[in-house]
Structure formats: C-alpha cells, structure tokens
C-alpha cells in the first residue's frame, strides 16, 4: 500500500465525460489498496472566463479605471476549482468510492497575503491523513489557500501543480502523479522536433531549468517544492486508458519520473532543449562605469516586477564607460523603457535601444558539470546553419543562447540533433 497524490489539469477535467475518466484513474489506485488524495484544476477555459468577468465588471459599471480588489479577484477565480472538486467527488461517490471534496481553506493551506500570486507557507495535513487512513479519497481544489487576512488566496496561473506537490509533501506521499494532456517530459517540444523522445527520468534540477526556460509541462514553483521536499513526481497522461497494462504499476508507471539526481544511474551529458519565445533585448549605451550603477538599473526594474534574464556587460577600452544589455519578456518592453527613462539621471546612460521578437534556446543537462566542450558544440552547430548568436548565459547545467525569432525551430532541431537526442 502506498500514499499517492494525483493531480489533474484543466484539459483532463474539461467536461463531465473527462471527469468520469479521471474518476476511473482514481478508482484504479483505490482498488489497488492505496491511500489517495486528488488535486484538481478548473475545467478547461473556466479560469479565463472568470478572469475576464473580473476585468470587465468595472467597465460595465462605468468606472474610469479597470481597478479591482485582488481579494475579490481571488474569491471569483477560485470558484472554478471548487466546482471541479465537487463534481469529481460526486463522480467517485457514484462508483461507490468514499470521497469528499476539500477547499484550500478547509485543509488548511496557509499562504502569504499576496492575493493573485500567493506563496504557500504551511499546510496542516493531519486531517486529510486521518481521512485517507479511514479509506476516504480527498478531492482537493487546487490553486488556492487561505491568507493571513482569513480570505481565499490563489497561487497564480498553473498553481494547481504547486498545490499538488505541497500537499504530497505535507502528507508524506510516496509519490505525486501529475496527469496532463502529454504523456511525459520530452527531450524537446515534439511539435517542433518530431524525433523528440520521452524521458524515463529527469533530475529535479534539470526539470527546474526546463520549466523556467520555456517547457510548459510543469509550473516552476511546483518543481522547486518537489526538489526541496524530495517529492518523487511522475508526469503522466490522463488520456491513457485507466485500465491499460502498466497504468497501475506502483514503481514504474508510464510517464516521466522527476526525482533526485542520485536515482539516475546513467546521466546523459545533455537531457533536453528548451526554448522561450517573445523575448526582448534592451541595451543601455555608454553608462558610467561606477559602483552602484547595476543597482540603479535593475533595482527600479525589480520594483516594477519586471523579470530580467540574460545580462551582458561590456567595458569600454578606457574603463570609464560600459554598455549594459539584458533581456525581458516582450510584453514588458514598454514598461521597462518607461522605468529606465524615469531613472535616466540616476543611471547616467546616453541612449537606450530595444529589440523584440527574439527567442532564447537553452541546452540543459546535469552531465554538463563533468564534460568539457558542450558549449563549443552548440556554437559550432548553430554557426553551420548560419544562425547568429546575440547573447549567451551559462550555469553549471545549462547554456542559454539568444537568437532572432525566425530561427527558433531550426535552432531547436539543430541542437537536438547535434547532442544525439534524436537517437534511441
């Protein structure tokens, strides 16, 4: 017998037929004698609808600005998961399975006060553990908790993944199964490279890089939590037949296991290629090279909640001036330029330039720690295809390369092939 947390995303619970299919997946684990908790997202498209309602209410009321109270935003958008959890509990009850729905505040999942993007601070899993021990399936509304102001809080888009991993850690689950519309984590996006392979295992650190650098399989915070608490996490497909051979395998079900590096016996040099579109590059020319200039640039950007990624600094020959180049999401360019303009006097630059429509392609692998020449291989392969590199950043287990947008798919396929990821 094991204790399992199962999470199902919006496409997996998009309608009543799919909710019934999810119930069959849950029944399989219950019939095997496992203690089960289930975390669900809102039905596909429902959160977007609720968010639109919140955004449009002030307009309908004739307000001059689209302002709304973030606490009420959370009250509205959290209702999508509440509906799904109740419907799945009813579906399980109709199969003669003892099940009960739970909202975040009932557990409770305690968060900070950042409504709309709250972070989990504490989960008391004792009541759910007791109920699971009595044979009851806990069906938990994901994406939500309760803030210190005693009001519903939400964890940001994709937050149900984080809910599931956090609950798995709180109840000391043997594993956390993330069911989605793909059957695992691939070496790259199969829509770009048809030769992409599904990985049997991937280390937490690699998955964290993949998620933060463009892979949409899991929310970044959920991977962070899994790594900190060492929650063994499987990415699985909810569209597989629940009763297909191997689906009930406790140790090696179909999908990709995200686990500690020590569990991976044969480590590949490169595990995968990720990419992120809609990157923009901003360059500040002839900035005075003095202590505190970096803080003067990036401090105001951070206060404006603008995520800065790749940073490149070039010092002039006489050492008195520097060019500072960095990337931000394309959607934040105008906001970033406005912030820089407001702080021009404190920063002391001559001119600011920007370029949108860029793509960041990243090579990821824990094996890179002990192998030389990985970066050189990438640069050579891209050069042979005539792809110009605009910026480069590296860490122990990844290389990120900024290129022009039209070359994105060619670059992904080229790098996937040059590291042998298209071979079984």
**154 among annotated binding-site residues:** no
Flag whether 180 is marked binding: yes
Q: At what angle do helices 70-77 and 79-93 cross, to 10 degrees?
A: 20
Residue 285 pairs in a beta bridge with 351
Any known ligand binding at 13?
A: no
Do the annotations mark residue 7 as ligand-binding? yes
Spatial CB neighbours of 399, under 8 Å, sequence gap ≥ 6: 362, 363, 368, 374, 375, 378, 392, 393
Q: Is 81 annotated as a binding residue?
A: yes
On whether 181 is known to bind a ligand per the annotation, the reply is yes
Residue 282, φ and ψ in degrees, nearest 5: -120, 135
Contact of 150 with 160, CB cutoff 8 Å? no
Pairing of strands 201-203, 272-288: unpaired
Q: How many angstroms separate the CA atoms of 275 and 193, rounded?
A: 12
Q: Is 191 annotated as a binding residue?
A: yes
Nearest-angstrom CA–CA distance, 186 and 210: 10
Cβ neighbours of residue 92 closer than 8 Å, sequence gap 6 or more = 23, 26, 27, 99, 137, 139
Note whether 247 and 238 are within 8 A (CB): no
Strands (E), 135-239: 137-141, 144-146, 152-154, 175-180, 201-203, 233-237
Secondary structure of residue 41 in the 3-state scheme: coil
- Full DSSP string of 362-419: EEE-GGGGG-SSHHHHHHHHHHHTTPPP-EEEEETTEEEEEEEGGGHHHHHHHHHHHT
Residue 7: which H helix or E strand, with range?
strand 3-8
Give the phi and the psi of residue 44 in degrees, each rounded to 5.
-50, 125
Kindly write down the DSSP assignment for every residue of 53-98, as one continuous string: HHHHHHHHTT-SS----HHHHHHHHTHHHHHHHHHHHHHHHTTT--
**221 marked as part of a ligand binding site:** no
Question: Cβ-count burial of 335 within 10 angstroms (0-12 exposed, 13-18 middle, 19+ buried)?
Answer: middle
CA distance 362 to 344: 32
List binding-site positions for ATP: 7-10, 180-181, 186, 191, 216-217
List binding-site positions: 7-10, 47, 81, 180-181, 186, 191, 216-217
List binding-site positions for substrate: 47, 81
């Amino acid at each position: 017998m094991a204790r399992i947390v199962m999470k199902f995303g919006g496409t997996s619970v998009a309608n009543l037929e799919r909710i019934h299919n999810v119930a069959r997946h849950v029944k399989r684990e219950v019939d095997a004698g496992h203690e089960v908790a289930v975390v669900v997202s809102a039905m596909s498209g429902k959160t977007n609808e609720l968010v639109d309602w919140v955004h449009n209410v002030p307009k309908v009321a004739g307000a001059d600005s689209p302002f709304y109270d973030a606490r009420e935003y959370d009250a509205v958008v959290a209702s999508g998961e509440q509906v799904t959890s109740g419907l799945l509990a009813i579906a399980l009850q109709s199969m003669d399975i003892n099940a009960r729905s739970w909202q975040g505040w009932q557990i409770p999942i305690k968060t900070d006060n950042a409504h709309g993007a709250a972070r989990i601070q504490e989960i008391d899993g004792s009541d759910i553990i007791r109920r699971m021990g009595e044979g009851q399936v806990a069906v938990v509304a994901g994406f939500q908790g309760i803030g210190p102001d005693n009001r519903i809080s939400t964890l940001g888009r994709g937050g149900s993944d984080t809910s599931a991993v956090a609950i798995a850690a709180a109840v000391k689950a043997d594993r956390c199964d993330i069911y989605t519309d793909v059957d695992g984590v691939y070496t790259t996006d199969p829509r770009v490279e048809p030769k992409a392979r599904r990985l049997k295992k991937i280390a937490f650190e690699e998955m964290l890089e993949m998620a933060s650098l463009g892979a949409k399989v899991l929310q970044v915070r959920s991977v962070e939590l899994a790594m900190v608490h060492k929650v063994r996490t499987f990415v699985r497909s909810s569209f597989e037949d629940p009763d297909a051979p191997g689906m009930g395998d406790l140790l090696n079900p179909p999908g990709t296991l995200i686990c500690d590096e020590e569990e991976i016996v044969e480590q590949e040099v490169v595990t995968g290629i990720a990419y992120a579109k809609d990157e923009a590059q901003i360059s500040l020319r002839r900035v005075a090279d003095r202590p505190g200039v970096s803080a003067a640039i990036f401090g105001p950007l951070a206060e404006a909640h603008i995520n800065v990624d790749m940073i490149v600094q070039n010092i002039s020959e006489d050492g008195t001036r520097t060019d500072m180049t960095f990337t931000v999401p394309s959607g934040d360019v105008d906001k970033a330029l406005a912030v820089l303009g407001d702080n021009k006097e404190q920063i002391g630059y001559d001119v600011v330039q920007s370029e949108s429509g860029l793509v960041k392609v990243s090579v990821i692998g824990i094996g890179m720690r002990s192998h030389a020449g990985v970066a050189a291989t990438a640069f050579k392969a891209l050069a042979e295809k005539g792809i110009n590199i605009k910026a480069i950043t590296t860490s122990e287990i990844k290389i990120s390369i900024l290129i022009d947008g039209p070359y994105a798919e060619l670059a992904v396929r080229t790098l996937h092939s040059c590291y042998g990821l298209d071979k079984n």
